[in-house]
Amino acid sequence: MTGAGIPVWLAWAVVIPVVAGAALSFLGATGLISLKSFYDRVHAPTLGATLGGFLIVVGSIALPLVVEGRLVLRDLLIVVFITLTTPVTFILLARAAVYRDRVEGNADAPEEA
Amino acid sequence: MTAAAVLDGGLGLAQLLLVLAMVLAAWRILRGPRAQDRVLGMDTLYLNAMLFIVVFGMRSGSTIYFEAALIIGLLGFAATVALAKFLMRGEVIE
């Protein structure tokens, strides 16, 4: 385990964003099972994908910074990539679901715009 | 409490929360009820697995896990887009 030599308040400052990000991801996953229709559920995991991932990466950038004084910004690649791809995947998935529901004549398909 | 104990406990708690999120996503994959729900569950599962690996890399202090997380993100995106295309058209590449 790294980070034995740093002050305790700095350890808390690293840990709190990571736990908050993981809690947001968990909250998004609970929405995935508690919401009733597919069109409600498709919103829930974006909570963990955007702010949850951002907070965890903030912690993973801060840890080498406070332990070794080393600034590693490549973890930001993960945030940039998730933020760009999540809306694309979910809009494609939602459009596929709308198409399937309309073809089958399901009542919960959204109205034609 | 020492700094090492705070880091170890906090990162362990974050890992536990991410594993619970993965369990909920796996439950959605198993239950369905329709194919698009299963794809949504798979997307949530790989996102949480990626974040879990990032936290795992923080705990171990190794830089290898960053590459693993990035590859999971890239391949998961391609997989979800391909599955959405398949659900819509019945073909991935036409």
State the DSSP string of B53-83. Answer: HHHHHHHHT-SHHHHHHHHHHHHHHHHHHHH
B57 assigned to some structural domain: yes
Amino acid at B74: L
pLDDT of residue A4: 64
Looking at beta carbons, which pairs linking A100-105 to residues 24 or more positions away fall under 8 Å?
A100/B34, A100/B35, A100/B36, A100/B87, A100/B88
Q: Which residues of B fall within a CB distance of 8 Å from A16?
A: 10
Three-state secondary structure call for residue A37? coil
Query: In terms of residue numbers, what domain contains A77?
Result: 8-104
Q: Minimal Cα–Cα distance from A23 to chain B, Å?
A: 6
Q: Write out the residue range of the structural domain in which residue B47 sits.
A: 3-89
Please state the pTM of the whole predicted model: 0.88
Question: Is A2 a domain residue?
Answer: no
CB contact under 8 A, B40 and A2: no
**Nearest-CA neighbor of B87 among A52, A82, A102?**
A102
Question: Count of domains in chain B?
Answer: 1
pLDDT at site A2: 61
Chain B closest-CA separation from residue A1 CA (Å): 6
- Which residue positions in chain B have pLDDT lower than 70? 94
Residue B20 lies in a domain: yes
Residue B42 contacts A where some CB pair is shorter than 8 Å: no
The answer to whether residue B28 is domain-embedded is yes
Domain membership flag for residue B79: yes
Task: DSSP letter for A35, please.
Answer: -
- Tokens 């398909």 locate to A109
Give the per-residue pLDDT at B4: 81
Give me the number of domains chain A comprises. Answer: 1
Q: Which residues of B touch A49 (CB under 8 A)?
A: 47
Read off the CATH number of the domain in which B57 is found. Answer: 1.10.287
Q: Does the complex come out with an ipTM higher than 0.95?
A: no
Whether residue B26 lies inside any domain: the answer is yes
The answer to whether position A73 is within a domain reads yes
Shortest Cα distance, chain B CAs vs residue A36, angstroms: 11
What pLDDT is stored for residue A83 in this prediction?
87
